[in-house]
A and B are shown apart, each in its own frame.
Chain A
């Protein structure tokens, strides 16, 4: 018990409830839960599926899951940074859609490399606009990115003129998707690299530290000399760029692009993965590798249900419940700390 406080003031009350030993114990437990958090259910699910379904553990099935989830993983990894920095990006689905159609249109007439670059550039640009609106004009990130997703979605429809853009099967896109190294397809390698880089960015660099500080206590971060606005813009730019990269991966795999390709479903799948991974929607904490596990956890549920022949209906219900549990645990952890 601290015997702080010479003068009665508000802080007093907070300091008085500091049964430090007790809080220390529950916090450590909480900390370890947060770190282990999603890993334990993931391993349990993995073992269960391995036992219940013969084809599950096949290398081809596992690589297929990774290949399918590549775009989502990239976008969710960057989205984690946005959440940690105290924002949220609901526009990634629309950005992904716009990036793919722009890239597809260019890919029809020019080199695939140029088209891929364009996809990422479109994503970065949208992210920059999001970041500027949120920080300079101080509009709530949720509303900004929601509104932007309508604007971008409209532009994407205009670009594609409502068509499905189909690319040739022997261009650069197809080569990228079908090439592999150590029998793992290139898109998976790119994703792995991207996720690792962002993970290190968040946990080992000054920018990552500033993101955590900005999301944890923006006022304190600013007074400590952190350029909070700049940091948040960086997070949004990375998130937009990741949507562009996700677009590149998916066009290559599917050899087609469509304005409505991502949409709100992708934005929410990404968010679900991040939250299931234990990153707090309130900002200030989170980790990229746990997001990756969160995304794969959701993917495993889908894969497992398919392999076991369970009605996809239940898949949705289970996913919803898991999300509620993840957010509930976060809220509970926060309330315990007060």
Chain B
């Protein structure tokens, strides 16, 4: 198979990219839900072009369309005036469009140089010409200004150095456009600063860099041009020098809260405390304290990776807790056992129902009764009739719709699968329920049903924690909102302080949190 090998011509041509990339009227829908609507923008060579927006605003979708991962439903891409049809990432690479994804795509067991030239090895009769690879690598690293040894195993490098490997791969493939999706999300301060320098140098060399980022300060200091997206629409494209943190946040906002939420019945401030978290430290969680009262719905907001799910799992005792205490109904929850948490009355609905929640090929009945089979059995013998009766009861209570409780979970719609997890939690009413992304991948109708369910549970006297990346959802449901950033709470909002402006400010940048 002919591969694009790294030849002398391509070395020189990464200094001469292929002109403007024009995105014209691009739309993309997922199962009827618009993710991008009529977005047009121009990416110029030698510039850093940032895409910003809330979670789900469409910035990653746009990045994926440009890098060939997704095809637009309508609209066109042109590069240097020629139409561009990208059916796969491979075709995009062929046009010099390289993506550096959130999850790095390096092979840990291969050396740095082998990773850089992966898929385009110089081979003679099937044997990789190692010396040639190494020589080319040195040349390339020198041009990029990186100090990396070609022979080190890529898996042993720091995240920042692994990113350098990816960037070198991009350069070796003659990149005229580099798409970076949250490149600094996984990096420490120093590493991020180093990457910023690399991004600037890529632009100086004439490549266009598309930077998708949650970090507004990063965007403001790096980008030449900033495009703001909201709900799949392009809000505006501005020069970075004309933008401020406030103007960017204002651009990402502007959506009224829909009335798709049940009425809030606030818990009294004297309601008994059901959960008390004190100075909790765990991987990804840094010194978090809060109390949850009976009947309260507490929202935890923040960006993806801020430590929300980590906090949930630390409270649930599914993660190693290095410091701090969790008290449930006044008694300390110690040890490291989801089993004990559940039996003490603390349940977690995990963020991914598919990988962490359900046995997809097992029946609705088995999935629902799993957590509390102890209540349905004597000497471990399951009472079949009682199981079916109890499962039917909680299915009704949590409005699970399934033709039969013998159906495998995978046959249900996303919304009903999610409700299965609620049904499982309700086999015995817990005192605290933590719902992590309770409506991810759920249709609008089921969303409302899940909101009603959460409100009803709180009304019945449970303490509820809702973690969500959808700001509407947190604000629409919660009585009180805690905002997380880098594993810490940066804001505790109630009443009229609980608005998008305040949440976004605390989520994006702690310097403007107050």
A-to-B contact residues, CB < 8 Å: 1-9, 11-12, 14-16, 18, 20, 23-24, 27, 204-207, 209-210, 212-213, 216-217, 219-227, 284-285, 337
Contact = CB atoms under 8 A, between A and B. Distances in A.
B129 interface: no
Contacts of B414: 2, 4-5, 11, 15
Q: 3 smallest A-B Cβ distances: which pairs?
A: A4-B414, A7-B56, A225-B342
20 contacts: A5-B33, A6-B439, A7-B35, A7-B469, A8-B28, A8-B61, A11-B440, A12-B30, A12-B31, A14-B354, A20-B411, A205-B380, A205-B381, A213-B359, A224-B370, A224-B371, A224-B424, A225-B339, A227-B339, A284-B359
B56 A220 contact: no
Nearest to B376: A206
A216 B409 CA distance: 12
B254 to A, nearest CB: 18
A227 B382 CA distance: 17
A221 B341 CA distance: 14
Interface in B434-464: 439-444, 447
Interface in B301-334: 316, 318
Contacts of A12: 30-31, 441
Contacts of A222: 318, 338
B441 A223 contact: no
A217 B338 contact: no
A3 to B, nearest CB: 5
Contacts of B338: 222-225
A114 B359 CA distance: 44
Contacts of A1: 31
B382 A217 contact: no
A207 B31 CA distance: 40
B191 interface: no
Interface in B359-386: 359-362, 366, 369-374, 377, 380-382, 384
Nearest to B348: A223
Nearest to A285: B361
Nearest to B374: A206
Contacts of A213: 359, 362, 366, 370
B40 interface: no
A219 B361 contact: no
Contact of B377 (A14, A205, A216): A205
Interface residues of B, number: 59
B441 A15 contact: yes
B355 interface: yes
Contact of A225 (B28, B343, B350, B411): B343
A2 B358 contact: no
Contacts of B444: 6
Contact of A217 (B28, B358, B371, B380): B358
B370 A5 contact: no
Nearest to B339: A225
A209 to B, nearest CB: 6
B355 A8 contact: no
A210 to B, nearest CB: 8
Contacts of A6: 33, 56, 439, 442-444, 447, 470
Contacts of B411: 20, 23-24, 27
A221 B356 CA distance: 8
B188 to A, nearest CB: 27
A207 B408 contact: no
Task: Tell me what chain A mostly uses at the interface: helix, strand, loop, or mixed.
Answer: helix
B115 interface: no
Nearest to B439: A6
B144 to A, nearest CB: 32
A216 B408 CA distance: 12
A251 B411 CA distance: 50
B31 A219 contact: no
B357 interface: yes
Given A206-B382, A284-B359, A4 B371 contact: no
B413 interface: yes
Contacts of A23: 411
A204 B366 CA distance: 12
Interface string B456-492: 0000000000000110000000000000000000000
A221 B370 contact: yes
B413 A4 contact: yes
B33 A3 contact: yes
Given A217-B358, A225-B339, A5 B441 contact: yes
A284 B361 CA distance: 9
Given A210-B370, A212-B366, 16 more contacts: A2-B31, A2-B413, A4-B31, A7-B35, A11-B352, A15-B414, A15-B441, A16-B30, A16-B31, A27-B411, A207-B380, A212-B359, A216-B361, A220-B350, A224-B342, A284-B361
A337 B410 contact: yes
A217 B443 contact: no
Contacts of A15: 31, 413-414, 441
B354 A11 contact: yes
Contact of A223 (B357, B373, B408, B413): B357
Contact of A206 (B55, B352, B380, B408): B380
A8 B354 contact: no
A138 to B, nearest CB: 15
A209 B362 CA distance: 10
B87 to A, nearest CB: 16
Interface string B51-85: 00001101011000000000000000000000000
Contacts of A217: 355, 358-360
Given A206-B374, A223-B338, A11 B441 contact: yes
A139 to B, nearest CB: 20
B361 A8 contact: no
B32 interface: yes
Contacts of A220: 350, 355-359
Nearest to B383: A204
Q: For B60, B61, B352, B441, which residue has the most chain A Cβ atoms within 10 angstroms? A: B441
Contacts of A216: 359-362
A221 B360 CA distance: 12
B380 A9 contact: no
B415 interface: yes
A71 B24 CA distance: 72
A267 B469 CA distance: 50
Contacts of B439: 6
A4 B343 contact: no
B361 A7 contact: no
B276 to A, nearest CB: 22
Contact of A4 (B58, B370, B442): B442
Given A12-B31, A23-B411, A226 B380 contact: no
B31 A5 contact: yes
Interface string B32-60: 11010000000000000000000110101
Q: For B369, B414, B470, which residue has the most chain A Cβ atoms within 10 angstroms? A: B414
A4 B418 CA distance: 11
B359 A209 contact: no
A212 to B, nearest CB: 7
A212 B367 CA distance: 11
B421 to A, nearest CB: 9
Contacts of A11: 352, 354, 414, 440-441
A4 B31 CA distance: 7
A1 B370 CA distance: 28
B371 A225 contact: yes
